[in-house]
A and B are shown apart, each in its own frame.
Chain A
Amino acid sequence: MADELPPEELLEPRRALQEYLTVLLREEPVDSPSDASGNEPDSSRRVAAWSHPEFEVQLFKVGGLQLAVPVDKLHNVLPWDTGIQSQPEQPEWCHGLMRYQGRAVWVIDTAVLVLPPERLELIPHCRPAYILIVGDGCWGLACHDVEEVVSLAQDEVKWRSERGRRPWLAGTALRRGCAVLDSDAFAKLIG
């Protein structure tokens, strides 16, 4: 009788379906055309200094989009209900200002920053649930869900060569299917 091959390891049914949906429904931030093609040589890519040789990220969700922020750059995770006050003439990508450890922190409407307008319109306007404090405690990222912390190797990320219009998008973790944010870049948002 011929030797039987060992059965391939399959996921538990519910998890298999959930992962299937997660992959198919993944929103991807839009890069410049040259980035999207993925044809550039690796040498042109801007690898973040904090990523060597591997780094931990906090995963979080905005609408259907999964994002990651380096744990080293994360100050705190706060519940949404923290007295955010909208300001007259504030930029459209801000929810407003809040107090955090005695200082004023801009809370960013993360979806506006990472999604192109046509996709943004399709995300229902539900209230964020958390604020991730980043960027030396000066910025808060509004999000709908905070997930696990995972470890990423530097070569697991497709680093963006041009930061262009969205300097805060550092790259995409292909296996995880999430965009990695460079929170240092938020400091450049208000000149």
Chain B
Amino acid sequence: MKVWTVANQKGGVGKTTTVASLAGLCALKGERTLIVDLDPHGSLTAYFRLDPERIEHSAYDLFTGSVSAQSLLCETGVERLMLLPAAVALATLDRQIGARPGMGLVLRRALQEISEQFDRVLLDCPPMLGVLMINALAASHHVIIPVQTEFLALKGLQRMVNTLAMMQRNRSYTLPYSVVPTQYDRRTRASIEALEELQRCYRQQLWDGVIPVDTQFREASKRGLPLTVLRPWARGSRAYRQLFGALDAAPSIPTVQAVNHG
């Protein structure tokens, strides 16, 4: 089971769209795919027509230890694609358990429980450093950092890269990451300059394509389907297909094995 985290310490950069689009591709390819919404805003949960303010069981329950991860899985309407939804209560976790030893490893253990059921897991992170983001990074084999191609987003990227560096010092291993330029509009100077800046500062980690602005992403979210499933031929879908190919070929740290109960 491969676990990819989509994270950036800035909001509005296309994290949820990236998770939904890549997950749709995985499912279409025949992979048993799980998406986990760790953002208290619940954008990914809402994308698939669940209400994070009313949902009964969610990723929050992983931290209370009251139920199994298996019992939290929901259908998405896409074959082979399951969702572990978010609830607004996730926003309280940092206050409740933010300094409790080992609480950054809860998700990793939960995913181990269900590792035989899925080939791929994609984690949608909140846009701030906290117990949820740490859980996602600790469970992950590869981090995908979407970056909106504009000046302010580059600052958010630096914060995210600093966080990864600190994680790596703490965990004694290198967590590979890829920077993905999003919402690229080749007609604007801001997009072109931001991409040039990314190429200058993050040459090694930068994916060599771009995710373009595409109004069809909005249409897909209205329909509750990944664009890559709804319209595989759309410009945005084609870009995510190229991204998936590049990420899937990239080396990552060893994958999660099924727990041996023998």
Contact = CB atoms under 8 A, between A and B. Distances in A.
Q: Do A and B come from one complex?
A: yes
A177 B101 CA distance: 7
Contacts of A17: 129, 163, 166
B131 A24 contact: yes
A126 B171 CA distance: 12
B66 interface: no
A61 to B, nearest CB: 7
Interface residues of B, number: 28
A24 B172 contact: no
A25 B105 contact: yes
B243 interface: no
Given A25-B170, A64-B171, A124 B105 contact: no
A18 B256 CA distance: 26
B253 interface: yes
Contacts of B98: 20, 24
Interface in A8-34: 17-18, 20-28
B170 A18 contact: yes
B254 interface: yes
A124 B254 contact: yes
Nearest to A22: B170
A137 interface: no
**Most central of A117, A121, A125, A144 by chain B CB within 10 Å:** A121
Interface string A118-142: 1001101110000000000000000
Interface of B: 98-105, 108, 112, 129, 131, 134, 138, 163, 166-167, 169-173, 253-254, 256-257, 259-260
